[in-house]
Amino acid sequence: MSRFRLTIVHPCVGRKPGQQYIRTWQMEPLPAATLAGLTPAAVDVRFYDDRMEEIPFDEPTDLVAISVETYTARRAYQIASEFRKRRVPVVMGGFHASLCPEEVGRYAESVVVGEAELLWPEVVDDARHGRLRPLYRATGRTPLDGLRPDRSIFRGKRYLPVGLVEAGRGCHFQCEFCAVQTVFEATQTRRPIDDILDEIRALRNDKKLFFFVDDNITSNLRQAKEFFRALIPLHVRWVSQASINAAHDEEFLDLLVRSGCQGVLIGFESLEPANLALMNKRFNTARGGFETALANLRRHGIRVYGTFIFGYDGDTPESFAPAVAFAEEHAFYIAAFNHLTPFPGTPLYARLQAEGRLLYDAWWLDDRYSYNRIPFTPRGMSPEALQQACLQARRRFYGWTSIVRRSLDPVNRGNAFMWRNFYMINALHRQDVSLRDHYPLGDQAWQGPLLPAH
């Protein structure tokens, strides 16, 4: 009897006819490796990354698995249609499948809702025996014990030399715009520390920097501290995402530095207290607010990737310059100035829908929508003004004058490795300012209607 064949596909956001996909910031897609690691050894696994290679739709396979994000949904449905034209069943999971299971189910034989760790072996077994169910739904949170991503599927592909590792999943905060809290119901689970350390040891000869992809590595401070203590002897460099409240804990900051932390991504989101209240992020301004938190981070030499969101009800065209000035004054290593995006299933999406402010029924599938368009009506400016102001903010922050000035900051040049990479990283961001502007969702050259599954 021939072995069962599984094809895992990572879809790109979209593609312009005759052009290569944007190559900046292409990291190993960890969900694909996680899925491969969960697949029984008796199954032949192939992996294709739609961002960098042609998908061989005619290659024989028995099942196709696609992890879908909202931005990649349209392209994922195109890929699924191609396989299903060839009578190959498709199973989809990922964040968008958990947010919009009925929509995803229109273009796949089977949908996995929630975390796949306990469900995936059953899905594969059902597919092997011809009894694939339309829906597999995880109940509650799934333990992450024994998680072993199979990175052998990445051999021969050119990704950034950054090791993506998951230490925990989810976040206990309930920010209005965040799909993470919707999917995981404002909870976090963590992997056993020994499992994480074993994974890092296996990768550290090839990776100069690790990125812990946790939604919020500081969500549980006690567990985070325990992990950082165990990480110290490995002498690795790492970055991750954190909430600003952790910057007020001296023991935590000390452990960050001793465990090899090179920088943290922090969502400042807005300088306007009314906006933060509407976001349900009042904790950003606690215990002295941004200035005190940043002074604490600076004292410990921790670099900051600061992110801002514009388009909330308190924002006007005058809101952008102070945010850029703030990021420059505090010499952020890098920063993002993004417009608000209402993701389906979030409290934000429900609120804007109830207020009649959404410009598309489902912006991620609408032919009129393209990357960086504003899919709702802001209160303080037009959608076009919001889009342009975000671009201008990025252009200013990533202008050469700003880059040079920030490079000379004592924190940014306090580590030879991070300072050596400062200009390259900022130059890539400078190149990326408008590169994705009006980029299509889905392959514009793809022909035909999407093929319904049922």
- pLDDT of 81-140, one tens digit each? 999 999 999 999 999 999 999 999 999 999 999 999 989 999 999 999 999 999 999 988
**pTM: predicted TM-score of the whole model, two decimal places:** 0.94
Give mean pLDDT, residues 138-165.
91
pLDDT at position 1 over 60: no
**Mean pLDDT across the chain, nearest whole number?**
93
pLDDT at position 286 over 70: yes
User: Does an H or E element contain 423, and which?
Assistant: helix 416-432
Any residues with CB less than 8 A from the CB of 392 and at least 6 apart, and which? Answer: 320
The structure tokens listed for 81 are 């249609």
**pLDDT tens column, 295-353:** 999 999 999 999 999 999 999 999 999 999 999 999 999 999 999 999 999 999 999 99
Q: So what's the architecture of 153-432 in CATH?
A: Alpha-Beta Horseshoe (3.80)
pLDDT score at 255: 95
pLDDT score at 431: 87
pLDDT score at 142: 86
The structure tokens listed for 59 are 């290659």
pLDDT score at 186: 85
Specify the fold of 5-143.
Rossmann fold (3.40.50)
pLDDT score at 438: 83
pLDDT score at 221: 86
Any residues with CB less than 8 A from the CB of 192 and at least 6 apart, and which? Answer: 144, 145
Output the furthest CA–CA distance in the chain (Å, rounded).
Answer: 68
**Where would I find the beta strands (DSSP E) of 253-391?**
261-269, 303-310, 334-339
Q: Is 26 left (phi over 0), alpha (psi -120 to 50) or beta?
A: beta
Share of the chain above pLDDT 90, in %: 76
Question: What value, to the nearest 5°, has the Cα angle with vertex 44 and ends 42 and 50?
Answer: 145
Is residue 375 within 8 Å of residue 358, measured between CB atoms? yes
Give mean pLDDT, residues 361-375.
94
pLDDT at position 171 over 90: no
pLDDT at position 172 over 90: no
Domain range list for the chain: 5-143, 153-432
